[in-house]
Amino acid sequence: MIKVGIVGGTGYTGVELLRLLAQHPQAQVEVITSRSEAGMRVDEMYPNLRGHYDSLAFSVPDAATLGACDVVFFATPHGVAHALAGELLATGTKVIDLSADFRLQDADEWAKWYGQPHGAPDLLPEAVYGLPEVNRKAIKQARLIAVPGCYPTAAQLALIPLLEAGLADTSQIIADCKSGVSGAGRGASVGSLFSEAGESMKAYGVKGHRHLPEIRQGLRRAAGKDVGLTFVPHLTPMIRGIHATLYASVVDRSVDLQALFEARYADEPFVDVMPAGSHPETRSVRGANVCRIAVHRPQDGDLVVVLSVIDNLVKGASGQAVQNMNIVFGLDERLGLSHAAMLP
Amino acid sequence: MIKVGIVGGTGYTGVELLRLLAQHPQAQVEVITSRSEAGMRVDEMYPNLRGHYDSLAFSVPDAATLGACDVVFFATPHGVAHALAGELLATGTKVIDLSADFRLQDADEWAKWYGQPHGAPDLLPEAVYGLPEVNRKAIKQARLIAVPGCYPTAAQLALIPLLEAGLADTSQIIADCKSGVSGAGRGASVGSLFSEAGESMKAYGVKGHRHLPEIRQGLRRAAGKDVGLTFVPHLTPMIRGIHATLYASVVDRSVDLQALFEARYADEPFVDVMPAGSHPETRSVRGANVCRIAVHRPQDGDLVVVLSVIDNLVKGASGQAVQNMNIVFGLDERLGLSHAAMLP
Amino acid sequence: MIKVGIVGGTGYTGVELLRLLAQHPQAQVEVITSRSEAGMRVDEMYPNLRGHYDSLAFSVPDAATLGACDVVFFATPHGVAHALAGELLATGTKVIDLSADFRLQDADEWAKWYGQPHGAPDLLPEAVYGLPEVNRKAIKQARLIAVPGCYPTAAQLALIPLLEAGLADTSQIIADCKSGVSGAGRGASVGSLFSEAGESMKAYGVKGHRHLPEIRQGLRRAAGKDVGLTFVPHLTPMIRGIHATLYASVVDRSVDLQALFEARYADEPFVDVMPAGSHPETRSVRGANVCRIAVHRPQDGDLVVVLSVIDNLVKGASGQAVQNMNIVFGLDERLGLSHAAMLP
Amino acid sequence: MIKVGIVGGTGYTGVELLRLLAQHPQAQVEVITSRSEAGMRVDEMYPNLRGHYDSLAFSVPDAATLGACDVVFFATPHGVAHALAGELLATGTKVIDLSADFRLQDADEWAKWYGQPHGAPDLLPEAVYGLPEVNRKAIKQARLIAVPGCYPTAAQLALIPLLEAGLADTSQIIADCKSGVSGAGRGASVGSLFSEAGESMKAYGVKGHRHLPEIRQGLRRAAGKDVGLTFVPHLTPMIRGIHATLYASVVDRSVDLQALFEARYADEPFVDVMPAGSHPETRSVRGANVCRIAVHRPQDGDLVVVLSVIDNLVKGASGQAVQNMNIVFGLDERLGLSHAAMLP
C-alpha cells in the first residue's frame, strides 16, 4: 500500500485526488495539509467524502510527516512546491506536483510568466513533465514529476500526432480553448461567481496566458523545432471540462489523418481517438481520466481541425497525477482510474 | 458472474445502469434491448462508455435471450414490464423493474393514476417494493422487485423514522420536492429543453402527481395508518439531484430527533444522517448511491423539517436497482456502489 | 426630471437600478457612490450599460452631493442607511432604502436578527414599508421608504389575500422558498461560486433567516394577529428568480380562492393572478417588475398551495424601489417598468 | 402606427419579436400565425407577455390578413418565406424574413446547402441582405429583406473592418464560434435537452454548416474577392449569446487596429468597439440589440484575434429585424431597441 501525502488539499484538485484515491486499491492517504483549515475533517469540508475518510483531517504542513509518505502530491498555488520539494526528495519521498512549479524547463521563462524568481532551479534538470503519452519511460524513473496543466494536456494530445509526423505547418498553430469554471479554482473571486460566470461566455488572457509557454514547450518537443502558437482561452458556463479546438495547416494532404491519430494512440489507455466525423462532448469524459479526440479536415482543405476534450480536474489534473503515481510505482497504469465518465 | 439483461436501455436510467454495472465485479451485461436503436452499439449512443462495452449493441427484445439472463432490469416506460415480466419469471429470471408497473400494491389505484388497466395484477402479490431500508428481508426472497421512484425514495427515507416512532401528526404532512431535469427522461419534449428549463424554476403537477400515491403507500406502511400528504414537485435547473423538504408536526417535542434518525439508519450503508444543523446539497450525492438526511426543528417549534437529497438516477433509480440485485443474489450490498460522489 | 442619487451602486441591486433608470423618462441618475470603486466609470464595471451612462462614474459618498438629489436609493449592506438617512431627509431628499435597515418596525427585533443595535430608531415611526399593494397611500406621503426584501415580497403577495379575508389557519403557515444565486449578492464568497452553487440545490438558514421576522410582520399586518410561520429558503442554480411555495390550511373550503385572488389584485399593475391550474415559472418574470401568482387546493383538501414568482432583483428589489419612487413623486406607477420579461 | 404581421410566431425569434415590439412606440402587431397553435393566445404560450398582448392569438396563415399589414416578419423554418413572400410583396406589404430563404444571392448555392431547390429565385435580385452596418442605403429602399443569421452577424461585423481596409490575408480566416442553445430553436430535439446540452460543450457541423456560405458571401463583399474561411460552431451551455472568435493574419502590422475599428463603427448605434484589451462577455449584450467587439494582436504577431459578442435572438435575429423595419419605414433606427442589456 502506497502511503500518500497531499499538500494543500482544500481546493478542487485536492478533493478530486481524495475522490480518486478513495477507490484506489493500492494507495492510502495518510496526511493532507492545509494551514487555513487545520483540524477540520476532510468530509466536513467535502460531504461527498462522508464514509470514505472517517479519520482524515487537514493538518499543518510538517516535513517529517510528509517525508514519511511514499509520495506527496502538491495541489497548491505556484511557489509552494519550489519551497518544499527538495526536502521531501531528500527523504526518498516521490513528489508529484500539480502546480506549475516544475512544468517549464527554463527557469527564466518561468520567472517571466509567473512574476517571481524560480524557487528551485537546481531541481529542474531532474523534473519530468508528467504527460505519460510522451514521457512514460522518464516518468518510470522520476523522483519529481510536474503534472501538466489542463489546457496544455488537451492541446498537446491533440497536436502531437501531427507534429511528430512533421505534417503541420509550424509557423502558425491556433489553440482556441474553452474551459469550465472549476479551472479557476475554489478561491472566492467575483469573476467565478455563479451570477458572473453563468449564462455567459468570454475569452480571457488573449494578451498572454501562463499556459502558452507550457504548450509551446510541449509542441517544440514534438516538432523538433519552434512552433508559432496563438492560444485563446475562454470561460464557459459549465463546472468541469475543457474543449480544445486546434487549427493547423497540413503540409501534405495525402496523409490519412484518422489512421495517423489512431496509430499514435493505439496503446494508450487514456486517449480515445473517436471515429471519423465525431464531435466529442466534454460530458463524455466528465469524472474520467480520458482525453477524447476527433480529427477533421473541413471541405478537404489544408486546414486540420482537431477537437480534444478532457475533464480539467481529472485528465487535466488529479487523474493524470494518479496515473503518474501508478507509473512511478510500477502499478497497472489504470488502477483507480478505470471508471466510466458520468453522463448525463 | 451474474448475467444481466436490460430492457429499454436508451434512456437515462439505462445508461446509468451501464455505467454502474461496468464497475461491478460480479455482473456482466449480456443483452440490452431497444426497438428503435437495434443494431447501434451502446457506446455509439453513449460515448462515455467507450472502452467499457466493446461488444455490446442494442438488440430487439427477445424473450429467449432475456430469459437466459439471471436478472433483467426494466428501464422502460410504464406498461412494458407488465407485458414481459411474467414470461421472464417463468424461466427463473429475476426481474428488477425500474418503472412504476409494480410499485402500487392496489391495481385499481394504479389504473387510476396511470390511465390504463393494470396489465399484470396477478403478479402484484409477489412484487416486492425495493426500498432496502424497509424491505431488505423480503427483497432477499423476491423474484420480482419494483424499484421505488425517485421522489418516493427521498421522501420516504426522510419520513419513516418519524412515522415508525409514531412521532408525526399524520393528518397533514407536506413534501415540497425539487428535481433536476433528468428526472423527466431523455425523450424529446419542449418542457425539458435547455432553453425552457434552464435559468428558471417552477412547480408542476400540483393537482396530483403519480408519485403521490406511491409515497402515501409507503408512509402508510411506516405509520400503520393513513397519512394526509400534500406533495408538490418542482423542476429545478440542474441535471441530476432531488432535494426533498418535508414538513410534519411532532406530537412530542421531548424526543431527540437527531438521535432517533441516527439510530434508525445506523446500519444502513446508503443512508447518511448528517450532523445536527446540516443542510445537505444534492451535489454531495451526485453519481453516488446515497441518501443524505438532516433533521431540523426550527425555532424549537412543533414543526419538523427534514431535508433529504439523492441523485435521482442513482439512489433514485439505477443505483438502487443494483443495490436490490446485490441483495437478491446474496452479494455484499455495496458491490459496485462504493464510489464517492463527484464534487464539484 | 427627478434627480437621483444611488449609494453603494456596485452590487447587483445597484446595476439593476441603473438598468431600469436608463429607460425611465422622468428620472436622471446624478450621482452614484462607492468608496472602493471611486473614479471608475459605471460602464467600465458594467459593460451592459455602455452607451447609457456616458459620463457617470462612482464617487466617494458625500452628503452635500447626495443632498442635492430629489431622491437617494440605498443599495447598501445593512447599517449604512441608518447612518446617512437622517441627514438626507433633513435636506428634503427622499430616501428609498433597499437594505433591511428600516423594514422591521421594532428596533429590538432588528437588533436581535442583525446582531447590532439599530442605528436610527428615531426614524422608524415615519419609515414606510414599501409594498405598494399594501401601503400605497402611506408611500405617497412618505419621506423614508423601506423596500421589502425579495423573499418577503414573494411570500406576502401570495398570502395576504388569504389572511386579509380571514381564510387561513394562522397557527401554521409554511413558506418553502427557492432563490437564484444573485440573491446572495456580488460579494466574493465561496458558497456563491459557479462551481459550488451550480448543478446543485440546498436549503440554508433553516434555523432562522433574517427575512423570517420581516415576513411574519407583514403577515401579522394582513391577518390582524400573530401568525405561526416556518420559512425555509433554498439556493437554486439560476441567477435570477424567486419561487415561493406557500402552504396554509383554509378554515372555509367553500370560498372560491381563484376569484378571491383575482379580486384582491384586480387593480394592481404588477401582480398577475394566473388562470386556475397554472404553474408560474420564474423566467416568466425575468427582468420585469411583476409577481405572478397561482393558487391551488390539491385534491380538494384543506391545504392551499400558493405559487408565487418574482425576479429577486426587480420586483424583489430595484424594480420595486423604482415603483415606490414613481408613487412618491406622483408619477404613473408603471413608468420605466412596463417592459415585458425576457423569455427564454 | 405600423401594422405588423408575424408568420410562424411560436418559436424563439417569434416571442422575441413580440417582446421587442411590445415596447415599440410606432408598431402594432395585428396578426401572428401558427398552424399548430391556431386559436391559442400568445400570452398563454408565453406568459412573460401577459399584460402586453391582451387580445392577440395565433391564427392560421391567411394571405388577405397578412397582406393588410404594412410589414410581415417571417420567423419560420426555411422554405416558408419562399412560398409566401411574392404574394405579400404584390399587395405592397414589406417582407422581413428572419429565415435563411433570401440570404444567399446564388440560388444554386442555396439549393446545395439546404437540400432543396430554391423556391423563389425570381425574388433574389431584389432581396437585400439586412445587415445595416453594410447595407443601410439598400435597406431603405427594400421591399424584401433577408435578416442575417446569428453566426454571420457576429462574424461579419468582426471582420469587415479588416477586409474593407484590405488588411487581412484572405487565404485563411478562421471563425471559431460559440452559441447558446436557443440558437437551435424551440423544437423538441434530444440534443437540445437540458440534460444533454447542459454542463457540456461540443463542436458541431465541422464538416460544413449552413452559415458558412453566408459568412463567406459577406466577407467576399467586404474584401472584394473570395475569402478562404474555416467556420467551426460550438454548442455552449447557456441559453442566449454568441461569442465569435476570429483569427486572421494581417498583411501590415503598422496599422492601428483599435483606431481602425473605432472609425469604422463610429456612427453605428448598435456596434460597440470596446477599449483596447477588452474581453467582451455575451451577458453584456443579453436582451439588447448590440454587437460588442474587441480587437487583439497577441504577442504583437501577425495574427489578429477579434472577439465579437451578440445576443443571438436580438442582434442575431429579432432585434436586427426590428432595426431593419425602422430603417425601411424611415424611423429612428433605435426605436424600441434602446434598452440596456440585462446583467447579471
Percent of chain B with pLDDT over 90: 99
- Closest to D19 (Cβ–Cβ): which among C22, C274, C340? C340
Q: CA C251 to CA C260: how far, in whole Å?
A: 14
As a whole number of Å, the end-to-end CA separation of chain C is: 34
Q: CA D267 to CA D282: how far, in whole Å?
A: 22
Question: What are D299's three cell numbers?
Answer: 504577442
Short-list D55, D59, D17, D11, CA closest to D35: D59
As a whole number of Å, the end-to-end CA separation of chain A is: 34
Report the residue of chain D nearest B182, measured CA to CA: D195
Helix axes D257-264 and D150-164, enclosed angle (nearest 10): 120
Q: CA D148 to CA D120: how far, in whole Å?
A: 18
Predicted confidence (pLDDT) per residue in C218-244, tens digit? 999 999 999 999 999 999 999 999 999
Distances (CA, A) of D124 to D74, D92, D121: 16, 17, 5
Helix (H) or strand (E) holding B271: strand B271-273
Q: Average pLDDT, stretch C305-319?
A: 98
Question: What are C280's three cell numbers?
Answer: 408560474
Do the beta carbons of residue A123 and residue A102 sit within 8 Å? Answer: yes
Query: C194 contacts in A (CB within 8 Å)?
Result: 181, 192-194, 196-198, 237, 239
Do the beta carbons of residue D130 and residue D152 sit within 8 Å? Answer: no
Report the residue of chain C nearest A193, measured CA to CA: C193
Predicted confidence (pLDDT) per residue in A19-44, tens digit? 999 999 999 999 999 999 999 999 99
Amino acid, res. D297:
R
The backbone torsions φ and ψ at residue A48, rounded to the nearest 5 degrees and listed phi first, read -65, -20
Short-list C136, B63, C250, D174, CA closest to A172: D174
Average pLDDT, chain A: 97
What pLDDT does residue D146 have? 98
What pLDDT does residue C9 have? 87
In chain D, which stretches have pLDDT less than 50? none
Predicted confidence (pLDDT) per residue in D16-66, tens digit? 999 999 999 999 999 999 999 999 999 999 999 999 999 999 999 999 999
Helix (H) or strand (E) holding D3: strand D2-7
Question: What are B76's three cell numbers?
Answer: 422502460
**A48/B340 touch (CB, cutoff 8 Å), yes or no:** yes
Short-list C260, C274, C342, C339, CA closest to C309: C274
The answer to whether the peptide bond before residue D344 is cis (omega within 30 degrees of 0) is yes
Question: What are A254's three cell numbers?
Answer: 495525402
Query: D51 contacts in C (CB within 8 Å)?
Result: 272, 290, 340
**C342/D284 touch (CB, cutoff 8 Å), yes or no:** no
Predicted confidence (pLDDT) per residue in C79-90, tens digit? 999 999 999 999
Q: CA C57 to CA C31: how far, in whole Å?
A: 8
Do the beta carbons of residue C290 and residue C272 sit within 8 Å? Answer: yes
What pLDDT does residue D61 have? 93
Helix/strand/coil for B238: coil
**B281/A47 touch (CB, cutoff 8 Å), yes or no:** yes
Percent of chain A with pLDDT over 70: 100
- Closest to B340 (Cβ–Cβ): which among A52, A182, A285? A52
Short-list C31, C102, C99, CA closest to C67: C31
Angle (CA) C46 C51 C54, round 5°: 85
Instruction: Say if strands D229-235 and A242-249 run parallel, antiparallel, or are unpaired.
Output: unpaired
User: Could you please report the per-residue DSSP string of B85-109?
Assistant: HHHHHHTT-EEEE-SSTTT-S-HHH
What pLDDT does residue A9 have? 87
**Rg, C-alpha atoms of chain A:** 19
Predicted confidence (pLDDT) per residue in C243-260, tens digit? 999 999 999 999 999 999
Do the beta carbons of residue D29 and residue D88 sit within 8 Å? Answer: no
Q: What domains appear along chain C, each with residue ranges and CATH number?
A: 2-126 (3.40.50.720), 150-312 (3.30.360.10)
Query: Alpha helices of B238-316 — where are they, by DSSP H?
Result: 257-264
- Dihedral Cα D264, D270, D276, D277, nearest 10 deg: -140
Q: CA C82 to CA C124: how far, in whole Å?
A: 10
Query: B46 contacts in A (CB within 8 Å)?
Result: 343
Interchain CB contacts (distance < 8 Å): A and B: 93
Query: A338 contacts in B (CB within 8 Å)?
Result: 23
**B193/D192 touch (CB, cutoff 8 Å), yes or no:** yes
Query: A240 contacts in D (CB within 8 Å)?
Result: 199
Distance of CA A168 to the CA centre of its chain: 24
Which residues, in sequence order, are CB contacts of D314 under 8 Å at separation 6+? Answer: D16, D20, D285, D287, D288, D289, D290, D320
Angle (CA) D82 D85 D89, round 5°: 155
Distance from CA of D333 to the nearest CA of B (A): 29
Q: CA D239 to CA A192: how far, in whole Å?
A: 19
DSSP C313: T
Predicted confidence (pLDDT) per residue in A184-211, tens digit? 999 999 999 999 999 999 999 999 999 9
Query: A302 contacts in D (CB within 8 Å)?
Result: 172
Report the DSSP beta bridge partners of residue C58: C32
Report the residue of chain D nearest B236, measured CA to CA: D194
Largest pairwise CA distance in chain B: 62
**D50/C272 touch (CB, cutoff 8 Å), yes or no:** yes
Helix (H) or strand (E) holding D173: strand D173-179
Instruction: Say if strands C271-273 and C242-249 run parallel, antiparallel, or are unpaired.
Output: unpaired
Interface of A with B (CB under 8 A): 12, 15, 18-19, 22-23, 46-52, 182, 186, 198-199, 239-240, 272, 274, 278, 280-281, 283-288, 290, 292, 338-344
Short-list A7, A13, A46, A320, CA closest to A182: A13
Short-list A153, A142, A103, CA closest to A270: A153
**D193/B196 touch (CB, cutoff 8 Å), yes or no:** no
The backbone torsions φ and ψ at residue D84, rounded to the nearest 5 degrees and listed phi first, read -105, -20
- Centre a 10 Å sphere on the Cβ of residue B130 and count the other Cβ atoms it contains: 29
Helix axes A319-328 and A132-141, enclosed angle (nearest 10): 40
Look up cell 397557527; give the residue: C171
The backbone torsions φ and ψ at residue B128, rounded to the nearest 5 degrees and listed phi first, read -110, 135
**A195/D279 touch (CB, cutoff 8 Å), yes or no:** no
Q: CA C186 to CA C10: how far, in whole Å?
A: 8
Amino acid, res. C227:
V
Average pLDDT, chain B: 97
Best residue in B182, B199, B236 for a mutation probing chain C (most C CBs within 10 Å): B199
What pLDDT does residue D9 have? 87
User: Could you please report the per-residue DSSP string of D37-70?
Assistant: TTT-BHHHH-GGGTTT-TT-BEE---HHHHHTSS
Report the residue of chain A nearest B284, measured CA to CA: A48
Which residues, in sequence order, are CB contacts of D61 under 8 Å at separation 6+? Answer: D7, D33, D35, D84
Do the beta carbons of residue C323 and residue C156 sit within 8 Å? Answer: no
What pLDDT does residue D200 have? 98
Long-range contacts of D294-298 (CB under 8 A, 24+ apart): D295/D257, D295/D258, D295/D261, D296/A206, D296/A207, D297/D250, D297/D253, D297/D257, D298/A206, D298/A207, D298/A208, D298/A230, D298/A231, D298/A232
What pLDDT does residue A245 have? 98
Q: Average pLDDT, stretch A141-168?
A: 98
**B230/C196 touch (CB, cutoff 8 Å), yes or no:** no
Report the DSSP beta bridge partners of residue B182: none
Best residue in A20, A42, A44, A48 for a mutation probing chain B (most B CBs within 10 Å): A48
Average pLDDT, chain C: 97
Best residue in A15, A194, A200, A283 for a mutation probing chain C (most C CBs within 10 Å): A194
Report the residue of chain A nearest B239, measured CA to CA: A344
Amino acid, res. C81:
A
The backbone torsions φ and ψ at residue D227, rounded to the nearest 5 degrees and listed phi first, read -125, 130
pLDDT bracket for residue B18 (50, 70, 90): very high
Distance from CA of A87 to the nearest CA of D (A): 38
Distance of CA B8 to the CA centre of its chain: 17
Which residues, in sequence order, are CB contacts of D233 under 8 Å at separation 6+? Answer: D151, D177, D178, D179, D203, D204, D205, D209, D211
- Closest to A283 (Cβ–Cβ): which among D172, D199, D307? D199
What pLDDT does residue B14 have? 97
**Chains near A, with 3+ CB pairs < 8 A?**
B, C, D
Predicted confidence (pLDDT) per residue in A70-98, tens digit? 999 999 999 999 999 999 999 999 999 99
